Chain A
Amino acid sequence: MSIVIIKPGILDTIQDTGRTGQGSFGINTGGAMDRFAAMMANILTGNNVKEAVIEIHYPGPQILFENDALICITGADFTAGLNDEPLPSWQPVLIRKNTVLQFPVSKKGARAYLAVQGGFVIDKWLNSYSTNLKAGIGGWKGRKLEKGDEIFFKQSKRCVSSLFKSENNFQILRWRADIGKVYEQPHEIFFIRGYEWDELTRESTEALEESNFIIRSSSDRMGYQLKGTHLHLAEKKEMVSCAVSFGTIQLLPNGNLVVLMADHQTTGGYPRIGHIISAHLPKLAQLRPGDNIRFKAIDIDKAEEQLFFQQHEIQIWQRACAEKLNSIYAEHRS
């Protein structure tokens, strides 16, 4: 039960929802940039949300399936195809063995996720499957996927092959996740005010909400470097290092902003202007260099409400998908 990377993409890594509990050792959380898409890929294939998935950037890989599998692709739309036939995203698909999955054209978004029913066979490091590229450990050998890598997936008690109803290379299962709301208004990003917000000049606080910021090409999994109006504190401030989080907006000494992303360091010493709300991190993770961002400040209670709403939706999908899968396996047995 395995897949083989026959052609690597630019940056394909094993990720999960992150490595928590190690911050005091300087070990960052890492994990999928778009946690929502990664979790949904697992949910749609009937996995635990914390199973390992492959995070795919564009140009993507070519992946050979050595066995029949039930898979789901979520996140960015890289026009996934199986032996040149287009595959749907956000929908579980049965795949025949000896087929090749590829991602020919980048249409929308920045990261796609691939989950396989059962999950990939990966050793956990400090209780997580995520790849820590900086330390060279975790995930698949601590590195991105390369040509010839053969990754096994866990044998499921449920026989995927028995679900095929035709000789086709793939078969689309009947349900899909309606995820419209999560990625709506992709450029409008909400944040809560950070501790040094009050220390910005009035012009700066106005500029932050009233002008566009563009994601620079130097952005990566560690952080999004932004181009836009330069912001300034009313008085220069020397800071000692303090913990930062996924979504923290830091003000650099040159007046530019950087938004810390999944692979951010545990601590930082720059003024914290704001923090992107969790519910908007998925859409932020799907923006690309050159895209613009419009920031909007909201209060912590509203940020929490949005987080709970998204969590609640995830739980509903989780139950619904589990039921759907149970029913088709049951249908088949009868």
Chain B
Amino acid sequence: MSGDLVSRAQLVMLAETLGVPAERIRHLERLGADHLRGLRERISDQLFDEQAAIFARMSRLAPLVPNGLVAKVSQAIVPPLVAGRAAGALGVDHPGRAKGVLADLSPRYMADCAPFLDQRTVAVLAPNIPPELLIPAANELMRRKAYVTASWFLDYATPEALLDLEAGIPDKAGLLHTTSLVQSAERLNQIIRLLPTDRVAVIVRTAIGSPELLTAGLSLLARLDPELTADLGDLLFEELDGAGLTEVLRTAVGQGAVLELLVVAASVREDAVRRIAADPYVTELDTVDRFLAEAAEHDEWDGLSRVAEHLPAELAARVAEGAARARAKAS
């Protein structure tokens, strides 16, 4: 499921690059996040490069037009597709003016243009843009639930900008959604390590707010380095009373996030594993069989093995037999 969430995000970004609804290319989701990203980046690069001559000429217009007029005219008549496409080229050629123009643009217009920016120029420009100019647009993206677009910027934000953005975005649930969609696990770990633990804790705890948030939360936790998964997973489980834990486990199964749950269970502390194993929903035969099927499908046994150590004897035996069968079949 974590892979699915990230793949889905990459699919949405590819669809935005092509200017079609995601449904139109839904069949490409099977390519997976890495392939979809490679495909999108190459198509995006080509769409920009084909217009390089026009962007270069537009760039030469810049000295004729004051910042205020650029912003005013853009918002009045330039569609976001064009403004987003041109912004990168103009920003790279005139880095000193990017701040001035952005300061005059409305957050809504900036959010409209965001999906159409050239990723290569964002990487160059991002370090020089003061976060206070981007935070209103980031909050607008959160308001629109445009988490896929927002996640893209996390790839390029500097450490300082990440800290400022986190502090400037009050919608912590939106931040959880956004962070869970960061494509590279390495980058995701960097981001989580960079943010102070107490702030990450606030974000992770929002996971119990809804089934979608829980899926995002488990997806995020499952992609972290094991010690981070342990620390943050414990924080999440500490939030839950007995009924809350049952609800989370039920939701994980219902949302197709069992694999993530098992990965998290492989890392959290013993107390959390005992609580999972003692939960009345987990001790149902159907649930154990579902866990077994997921573990077998993904060859992910550590979490289930830990849980099984604390299950009633007959269920533990069922897990052991299922695991042995799956491994024999695989070998």
Task: State yes or no: do A and B come from one complex.
Answer: no
Query: Residues of B with Cβ closer than 8 Å to A?
Result: none
Query: Residues of A with Cβ closer than 8 Å to B?
Result: none
